[in-house]
Structure 1
Amino acid sequence: MPPTSSPAIEDYLKTVYAHTEWQPDAITPKALADKLGIAPSSVTEMVKKMAAQGLISHVPYGPLRLTDAGRERALAVVRRHRLIETWLVREMGYGWDEVHDEAEILEHAISDRLLEAIDERLGRPRRDPHGDAIPSAAGEVASEPFVLLSDAPVAHVGRVIRISDRDPEVLRELEGRGIRPGVEVEVTDAAGRLVTLQAAGEAGELTREVASAIWVTA
């Protein structure tokens, strides 16, 4: 990361990037403030600072978009975060529901040398424990067509690509049901608030809220 980088700027860049990773709409300053848990006025000041550094493209009251330089910096932060999560699960015995907050701290602290050593030891993984793509050192990101499980039609068969890590309780529930990235699921019914499916060889039901945290191949 550049020597002028700061944890606050890194958090902003990562949040703006993550917002559009799985859906097309750019993030608004208010949504960014909500995600970061800070006052809108603080976001306004930081956005001005980042725009002056050429990291964000922004017009007053409009959505925020990363510049090429901002995206490059964001991908470097995302790479750190997801490699650390993967390392904590594979090497340190953490559950996939426990790693997000630890990675939030460590991503700002470890050196590039240690990050490279972690990447090499793990065998250059392409996805973290939740299925999110780990950007390469060159900034390349793997992607494939997807659909939210909550939006998938009846009879849709797909492989779980990604599960949101925003709610540890959801991760624990899905782990107990054997639903993880790589598992094939089939939607057998999608009526009302429930999605009924076959997963890991067993039938089960998920609320649409839980199903909306799961991305499957299209």
Structure 2
Amino acid sequence: MPAASDLTPSAENYLKVVWGLGEWSSEPVTAGLLADRLGLRVSTVSDGVRKLTERGLLDHAPYGAIRLTEAGRTVAVSMVRRHRVIETFLVEMLGYGWDEVHEEADVLEHAVSDRLVERLHEVLGRPARDPHGDPIPSASGALDPPAAVALADAAAGGDVTVVRVSDDDPARLRDFAARGLVPGAVVHVPEDGPGDEVRVLLGGPGGPALALDPAAARAVWVQPA
């Protein structure tokens, strides 16, 4: 199996993104979806997928879904661990905002060694989650994802705790932070309101009301309080 150090940053990104697209979604990973996430042309992605398939890191039949092989998953999860430990270090030790760390970690994850990542994780107290609530894989690749659903799918009438917020949109992260919608926050989901807008009460019944558009409500993941 190729070690992560034998792969180019581009190849590492392909594997990490394929894994990430399936972490919180059951939607099949296609070349178009992968191209959209990587910001590349579909033809470029198709060629990259072909090369990684030939190396035994991806499994892709023509017109079928793109899947990681076991070897590909090992590399992908190692990159995810690096990324999330680095994000946590930047926030906890260097004072970065949670909206500032994704791109920094995208660069640094290719330059650090597993040994350095392990030391960073140790210095941080071995956290199980990154600043956005995403689980940090162990050094052996084990994961402990929360049993969570998107806020848009949460049952009305109860209290839920925010356990994870998507880091795809820095502006949305800043908005959420300003409004207190962060991991650990408790919100009450009232009975369904009009239209697609999701309305919640921060802190429980009687708390300040927040109105979220559908995309924002799907960027927040919760579990029963």
Q: Is TM > 0.5 for Structure 1 vs Structure 2?
A: yes
Aligned length: 218
**Secondary structure at 2:6 match in 1:** coil
Asked if 1 retains the 8 angstrom alpha-carbon contact of 2:132 and 2:166, the reply is yes
CA displacement at 1:99 relative to structure 2? 0.4
Specify whether residues 2 and 193 from structure 1 end up closer, same or farther in structure 2 by C-alpha distance, changes over 3 A only.
Answer: closer
Specify whether residues 42 and 188 from structure 1 end up closer, same or farther in structure 2 by C-alpha distance, changes over 3 A only.
Answer: same
Q: Name stretches of at least 5 consecutive residues in structure 2 with no aligned partner.
A: none
Partner of 2:68: 66
Asked if 2 retains the 8 angstrom alpha-carbon contact of 1:189 and 1:197, the reply is no
Determine which of 187, 193, 201 is the counterpart of 2:196: 193
**Secondary structure at 1:31 match in 2:** helix
**Secondary structure at 2:88 match in 1:** helix
Q: Name stretches of at least 5 consecutive residues in structure 1 with no aligned partner.
A: none
Runs of 4+ in 1 over 6 A off after TM superposition: none
Q: Does 1:101 align with 2:103?
A: yes
Asked if 1 retains the 8 angstrom alpha-carbon contact of 2:53 and 2:59, the reply is yes
Q: Aligned letter for 2:54?
A: A
Q: How does 1:57-206 map to 2 (within 5 A)?
A: 57-191=59-193, 192-200=195-203, 201-206=207-212
Partner of 1:6: 8
CA distance in 2, matches of 1:156, 1:16: 34
CA displacement at 1:176 relative to structure 2? 1.0
Higher mean C-alpha deviation, range 128-137 or range 38-47? 38-47
Asked if 2 retains the 8 angstrom alpha-carbon contact of 1:189 and 1:195, the reply is no
Partner of 2:216: 210
Q: Report the RMSD for the aligned CA atoms in angstroms.
A: 1.3
**Secondary structure at 2:5 match in 1:** coil
Asked if 1 retains the 8 angstrom alpha-carbon contact of 2:150 and 2:217, the reply is yes
CA displacement at 1:118 relative to structure 2? 0.4
TM-score computed with the length of structure 2 as normaliser: 0.92
Percent identical among aligned pairs is 47
CA distance in 2, matches of 1:184, 1:101: 28
Deviations 1:6-43 (A, max 9, x none): 10111001110011101112200111011111111111
CA displacement at 1:143 relative to structure 2? 1.7
